[in-house]
Chains A and B, each alone.
Chain A
């Protein structure tokens, strides 16, 4: 995944970092380097391990294996208080017994800086974060935004080589967050300090970062500039997570031609596999008179969103989202065209079209049912042929033949690893104890949650 060129100015390097809590793998061999003076953002849904990376670098967690190199030297044996790194904590973690000045001066006092120098530095820092005149205020008398700025000042005043920021703007309202994003970006430029920023807000990441690292369940999905990540997402997860997008199942038979929604679109990608995912940004869909486009669609809804109209268009059973400054009223038929360079072809996250698994016949009943053992679970299904005891079957389970269900009725359970809307269904990848499952579902579920599923009732799957 690491496709940037590693220069000589690498400040911090993570090598095969692994970490588990309660037998759950939070980090799965993470490799990453951060250049000096860079603004790097770790972006991903909650539980993806981004905060754990930060805590390993800060020294609050010890990785199970792997290494953290600072200036080329391992800092794993350096305790947190001796690392040349400071942190801005998610909930600020200001010292409630100290006023604004003493909070900011805390680190300098620990380092036994002369009091005169402390006064000078703290004043300058408070001016930088726009808190001049607040020196004597108790922390409890500050608003959320002000507390946040104190937290940033408290960390920055120490002039660390690396500043870690753990979702520092998460608790602020939208307007304040936007202002603070700009301020942080300015502080980064002025201070010349390397920033490692953690957020689950993709817009924040796109606005501020030099480099974005997209993470999902303990692994890095993509590393790149905001433009790269947005324009060339590495897979459907990244595309779905970064901005709004239309993601479809598609097929490729040759280079530069992709088959989706019943038509062939020109693209500029070589064929990576037969089955691919395609992402088209809503603003890249061109509306043309019906019949003149590559495909034809029916406008179901049109909403005014301020800068643009958002239209929901059905086309060949798939749902398209289109952003355009020109509105087409609901009920109209339109043609749609996409420039070849705006069609992004990605490798599928699940390599095959259906689930391949082996099952052993444990019981054949006279009522036409057969009991199979799959991954140690006993599953009874209607028989569609003749089976023998202990016969081993090779099954191909289509993703639509699995359905989410109540935990009480479940045949299998697993953790929902990713969940992407693909125009007419949610494509879910579920990790159970034995394998990864591909499920197509109409129900939405939160990625990272535990899901229960079974063979769809009323469908013959054998």
Chain B
């Protein structure tokens, strides 16, 4: 560990693909069309405030639903035989073997008016082009990112700690609340982070399933349609700041580094 030479390629990578682009985003966010320093791009934030709010609301709801689905699933997986656990892991990962855009397009085919769902129901479904469709799309896409960290943390809780809980008088619910849940908090936090962050900046999903732009789609369209690099950069910058703040807040709940899962 004495030599820092092995780090050189990574430092180069960081510089080329993280720090320099970040600097460029900040540069464009705070310059006007004429290339001079300016706060004029702040108006884009005001213009898109509703899009921001919608995006974060959808991301929050989706993250909560992911947690509600994934937590019991991880609990069940924890009690399975090793073979069953491997099977479940594969099943959870399976959708990710397919391309993201393709999966969203398939959902679109299901939900769109006159699509698969309408044909099955025999009437036009109320989900198409609503926030609900977007939430379904996000949950469908990012559920594995919630299940895996939860499962990983829970499978590390030793059987004897659970037995100790029962030995000291916990019934099933108490055991869940007093022992399993506190020990799974690191998994909950990384699951929330791993779902919330991409969900907040998701694009394509809102456009395809909701018929409206989320902040990701908005940034995309400023850049690709109106070639307004300054607007896109300012919106990205703000999105990044909000996400960083939310991660810092989340990690505050997990500041106890002493937690060792024996």
Contacts and interface: CB of A to CB of B under 8 A. Distances in A.
Contact of B183 (A80, A96, A140): A96
B161 interface: yes
Nearest to B161: A93
B168 A110 contact: yes
A81 interface: yes
A154 B168 contact: yes
Contacts of B169: 81-82, 107, 110-111, 158
Interface string A137-155: 0111100000000000011
Contacts of A82: 169
Interface string A68-103: 000000000001111001110111011111100000
A78 to B, nearest CB: 12
B259 interface: yes
Interface in B134-169: 158, 160-161, 163-169
Interface in B2-48: none
Nearest to A85: B167
B156 to A, nearest CB: 10
Interface stretch (B51-59, B174-182, B220-228): B174-182
A95 B258 contact: no
Interface of B: 158, 160-161, 163-171, 174, 178-179, 182-183, 185, 256, 258-262
Given A89-B160, A91-B262, A97-B183, A110 B178 contact: yes
B158 A81 contact: no
A140 B258 contact: yes
A96 B259 contact: yes
Contacts of B256: 138
A97 B169 CA distance: 18
A97 B167 contact: no
Contact of B258 (A87, A91, A107, A141): A141
A59 B256 CA distance: 34
Contacts of B260: 96, 139-140
Contact of A60 (B163, B258, B261): B163
A276 interface: no
A89 B258 contact: no
Contacts of A111: 169
A83 to B, nearest CB: 8
Given A91-B262, A93-B161, 20 more contacts: A59-B166, A80-B166, A80-B167, A81-B171, A87-B164, A90-B160, A91-B158, A93-B262, A94-B262, A95-B164, A95-B165, A106-B165, A106-B168, A110-B169, A110-B170, A110-B178, A138-B256, A139-B260, A141-B258, A154-B164
A212 interface: no
A58 interface: yes
Main secondary structure of the interface of B (DSSP, over half): helix
Interface residues of A, number: 30
Contacts of B185: 97
A87 B168 CA distance: 8
Contacts of A138: 256, 258
Interface in A89-136: 89-91, 93-98, 106-107, 110-111
Interface in A268-309: none
A43 to B, nearest CB: 22
Most buried by B among A79, A82, A93: A93
A97 B161 CA distance: 11
A89 B164 contact: yes
Contacts of A85: 167
Which 3 residue pairs spanning A and B have beta carbons closest together? A107-B168, A93-B160, A110-B169
A86 B168 contact: yes
B258 to A, nearest CB: 5
Contacts of A98: 182
Contacts, number: 80
Nearest to B174: A110
A157 to B, nearest CB: 10
B173 to A, nearest CB: 11
Nearest to B181: A97
A161 to B, nearest CB: 14
Contacts of B259: 96-97, 140
A139 B163 CA distance: 18
B161 A95 contact: yes
16 contacts: A58-B167, A80-B167, A82-B169, A89-B160, A89-B163, A93-B160, A94-B161, A95-B165, A95-B179, A95-B182, A96-B183, A97-B259, A106-B178, A138-B256, A140-B258, A154-B164
Contacts of B160: 89-91, 93
B262 to A, nearest CB: 6
Given A80-B166, A140-B260, A141-B258, A96 B171 contact: no
A15 B164 CA distance: 26
A176 to B, nearest CB: 19
A150 to B, nearest CB: 11
A96 B260 CA distance: 6
Contact of B170 (A81, A89, A90, A158): A81
Nearest to B157: A96
A141 B257 CA distance: 12
A223 to B, nearest CB: 26
B168 A158 contact: yes
Given A110-B169, A110-B170, A111-B169, A93 B163 contact: yes
Contacts of A59: 166
Contacts of B167: 58, 80-81, 85-87, 155
A93 B165 CA distance: 9
Most buried by B among A85, A107, A154: A107
A289 to B, nearest CB: 59
A96 B163 contact: no
A87 B169 CA distance: 11
A97 B171 CA distance: 19
A58 B167 CA distance: 7
A58 to B, nearest CB: 6
Contacts of A58: 163, 167
A11 B170 CA distance: 24
A30 B182 CA distance: 39
A107 B178 CA distance: 11
Nearest to A154: B168
A334 to B, nearest CB: 53
